[in-house]
Structure 1
Amino acid sequence: MQQVFVNEQPVDGKFNITGQDAHHLTKVVRLRPGERIRVSVADGTNYICEVSDYVDKDLVATIVEGVPSTELPNKIYLFQALPKGDRMETIIEKCVELGAYEIIPVEMKNCIVKLDDKKKKSKVERYQAIAKSAAEQSKRSIIPNIHSVMTFKEAFEYAKEFDVLLLPFESKNGMKDTYDCLSELKAGQSIGVFIGPEGGFAPNEIEMVEDSVKLISLGHRILRTDTAAICSLSMLMLKCEEF
């Protein structure tokens, strides 16, 4: 079943789907009257709808029934160090599927990739399009926001108000620290997760946050930055789905 996101509430039990979404559904997917789609509104409400009409280039969908939200009970913010190549695209795709609420690309000292302002803007636009596609594929109730690129200091300031901050690093008790952190999580808490670059966190970055974050372990093996992000989100999804 195709998924589409809209900003407007239904009128008289109907959605008027416009723009690229309407073009995709009518010209690419070739939906016909009577076929069903899933519609998610910006406030997180979801509906199964039936294609009922076409008006000019727009598609009209009539509500059949409401369906539950697919969102986690916790908002998870992924602070991801800029990786090389196209790994950020993979991270965004997979972590959106796993339930990330917002993804913040972060410039860290040991990042190999350095972006100028023009490239930052174009990258974020590309990343947001990937997030939309992943949200549609995984039947999310919202499209996670891809934040503009931040410095590590800016990211830490942004994260200070969150309920829980986690950072995979060298935790002294290994996986026990991870188990303890996960067991202490509660429904509704906002969770920030910091993932370092290929070169690892710089000492001054750890010093900046060590009094505010909980250091956790991802096991005895050294994971690539994209694997670390996916692993962290998988563990959090497993815990948060229990609530």
Structure 2
Amino acid sequence: MSLPRFIGEKEDSYLVLKDQEYNHAVKVLRVKQNDLIEINTLDGNVYLAKVEDIGKNQLIALPIEKIPIKEEEFKITLYQCMPNQLSKIDEIIEPLSQLGVYKLIPVISKNSAVKEQDVVKKLEKWQ
């Protein structure tokens, strides 16, 4: 059985879960003290960690070992036409990143109703 994985921060020699990750771990999955979990620190590292303390708004874990991240055998590139409402693209990007899409290339087709300068502003935000 695989361990639950969370997104956390590295603080000194500890790993910390806060906000939504804390709520999901403690309230939904009912993680307890001394449980083993995996924490992704978003700097390219994933740790196997042991829960040391559960406070009112944060969970503190002690890293046991660094888990090597294997590189995917293939990388998915998606060419996505821009939707009529440019704000919808944010809703498209989140599940794509969760599914492992490596690169998203926005496309403006001849039938697109969005303006190119609006897309340029969004591109700056995404990078």
Task: Tell me the distance in 1 between the aligned counterparts of 2:95 and 2:4.
Answer: 17
Number of the residue aligned with 1:2: 4
Task: Decide whether aligned partners of structure 1 residues 73 and 5 sit closer, same or farther in structure 2, where only a CA change above 3 A counts.
Answer: farther
**Structure with the largest fraction of strand:** 2
Q: Which structure: larger Rg?
A: 1
Alignment RMSD (CA, Å): 3.1
How far apart in 1 are the matches of 2:45 and 2:107? 31
Q: What does the per-residue CA deviation read over 1:136-179, in whole Å, with 9 as the maximum and x for residues that have no partner?
A: xxxxxxxx677484326x9xxxxxxxxxxxxxxxxxxxxxxxxx
1:35 to 1:11, Cα distance in 2 relative to 1, 3 A: same
Q: Which residue of 2 aligns with 1:115?
A: 83
Q: What are the superposed Cα offsets for residues 19-71 of structure 1, whole Å, 9 maximum, x if unpaired?
A: 11110000000000011111122221111001111222111111011111133
Q: 1:18: Cα distance to partner? A: 0.7
Moved >4 Å (runs of 4+): 144-148
- Return the offset for 1:130: 6.0
TM-score, with structure 1 as normaliser: 0.38
Instruction: Identify the residue that residue 125 of structure 1 maps to in structure 2.
Output: 91
Aligned residue-pair number: 109
Alignment pair present for 1:78 and 2:65: no
Structure 2 unaligned spans of 5+: 110-115, 117-127
Unmatched segments (≥5 aa) in structure 1: 81-105, 108-113, 136-143, 155-243
CA distance in 2 between partners of 1:146 and 1:55 (Å): 38
Letter in 2 for 1:3: R
User: Structure 1 vs Structure 2: percent identity of aligned residues?
Assistant: 19
